[in-house]
A and B are shown apart, each in its own frame.
Chain A
Amino acid sequence: MKSAVNLVIGLACLSLASGCATIDTMRAQETYSGIERRFTVSHEQALKASQQVLTQMGLKVRDTYRIDDSASAIIAYQEMNAVSCGVLVRVVVQSLSESETAVRIITRRKIATNIFAENDFSQPFFWNLQGKLR
């Protein structure tokens, strides 16, 4: 019994030490980090399609904001469920030219040690996005 209590305390300490992802930490991520794909569409088309795809994937869009003249960001999240404390996603849409746009995605579990939570939405996101942008 004592070892079980120690294990629970240990895991709790590990969770605290590993840190949590929040909306603010997602905003603070380096603008041009994350997994990138390029599309020959305008910035507006890519931004609108990204929002639609995130919703289609069951995520909720929390915020959309302009980073600078060429880039916008979307913050979305997956809600808590039976085995996950939730996941945060940031998508950055950057205009490279009038007809070329780079899209980058970062996925973070709200609690890093929550192993049952998804840790990478990039593959389904880009698969759906390429379908949407055809």
Chain B
Amino acid sequence: MGWVVERIAKAIERVGDGRGRDLALLMTALLAAGCGTVVNGTTQRVAISSLPFGASVTIDNVGYGRTPLVAKLKRKQYHFVRIHTPGYLPYDVALMREVSNWVWGNLLTGGFIGIGIDALSGGMHKLTPKQIEAELKPDGTSGKVLGTEGQAP
């Protein structure tokens, strides 16, 4: 990273600005920050609603509140969402992570360092679906899951 700072500093000094090094450090920091992380941040808001309203929401086995709500979730990992209310079958959905198109921005700024930072921070991902609208089915229908029912992986 040091040689990048030096080169940018020399280039700026050539232009005649005495504060070249500070500016170079700032530019390098901006270049090194992953494009996806800068634009997306490390979390994403996911709106969750249900019919009927007021159902309990658990995300990754932790109670989150009642519908409707907006959950702020880390982009870095999958999330396992369960929406449940008495008298209705639970509604399960996994939030998948997809690669955000902002990662392509690292071709212009950031380069491999930017991609690495995006990967570590989770900024390169977007969670899908972006919102969840669950229509809960009344209890007493369809099949039954064997094994680890009730526990997110």
Contacts and interface: CB of A to CB of B under 8 A. Distances in A.
B147 A38 contact: yes
B149 to A, nearest CB: 7
Nearest to B148: A37
A58 B115 contact: no
B71 to A, nearest CB: 16
B147 A37 contact: yes
B101 interface: yes
B94 A124 contact: yes
Contact of A116 (B93, B119, B147): B119
A81 B103 CA distance: 10
B90 A134 contact: yes
Interface stretch (B6-14, B23-31, B40-48, B138-146): B138-146
Interface stretch (A9-17, A22-30, A39-47, A68-76): A39-47
A81 B101 CA distance: 9
Contacts of A125: 94
Contact of A126 (B90, B96, B153): B153
Contacts of B149: 130
Counting chain B residues whose Cβ lies within 8 A of the other chain, the interface size class is 20 to 34
A82 B104 contact: yes
A84 B103 CA distance: 12
B89 A134 contact: yes
Contacts of A3: none
Which of B78, B115, B141, B152 has the most C-beta atoms of chain A within 10 angstroms of its own C-beta? B78
Contact of A40 (B91, B104, B143, B153): B143
Given A58-B98, A83-B119, A128 B92 contact: yes
A130 B92 contact: yes
Contact of B153 (A57, A116, A123): A123
Given A123-B153, A127-B92, A133 B103 contact: no
A40 B78 CA distance: 26
**The 8 nearest A-B residue pairs measured at CB:** A131-B92, A124-B94, A41-B143, A123-B153, A130-B145, A82-B103, A127-B94, A81-B99
Interface of A: 37-41, 45, 57-58, 81-84, 100, 116, 122-128, 130-131, 133-134
15 contacts: A37-B145, A39-B144, A82-B101, A83-B99, A83-B115, A83-B124, A116-B119, A123-B94, A124-B78, A124-B94, A124-B96, A127-B80, A133-B142, A134-B92, A134-B145
